[in-house]
């Protein structure tokens, strides 16, 4: 069975506060430190945040002008949500 919404929200909050680390070499990339052990070793997991994905792909969010040039003018909200 899948994780509850509360569990997912808790994990998300923990990841936002987690320390980030960039590794170079055979396993290069952005990682998050999920555990610091008494012997000094670290447990890492890949950083899958939107910011890390943007860095990996050298992407930047579109400006409003760029968005509207591609998709047309942004319409006012229709009150449905």
pLDDT digits (tens, 9 = 90+) for 30-60: 999 999 999 999 999 999 988 888 988 999 9
Calpha distance 6→12 (Å, rounded): 10
Tell me the pLDDT band of 5, cut-offs 50, 70 and 90: low
Calpha distance 62→60 (Å, rounded): 6
Measured at the CA of 21, the angle between CA 54 and CA 4, to 5 degrees, comes to: 70
Calpha distance 3→29 (Å, rounded): 27
Q: pTM higher than 0.75 for the full model?
A: no
Q: Which two tokens stand for residue 40?
A: 């000094």
């Amino acid at each position: 069975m899948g994780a509850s919404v509360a569990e997912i929200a808790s994990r998300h909050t923990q990841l936002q506060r987690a320390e980030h680390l960039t590794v170079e070499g055979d396993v290069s990339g952005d990682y998050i430190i999920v555990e610091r052990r008494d012997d000094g070793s670290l447990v890492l997991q890949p950083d899958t945040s939107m910011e890390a994905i943007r860095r990996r792909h050298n992407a930047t969010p579109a400006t409003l002008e760029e968005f509207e040039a591609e998709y047309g003018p942004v319409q006012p909200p229709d009150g449905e949500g």
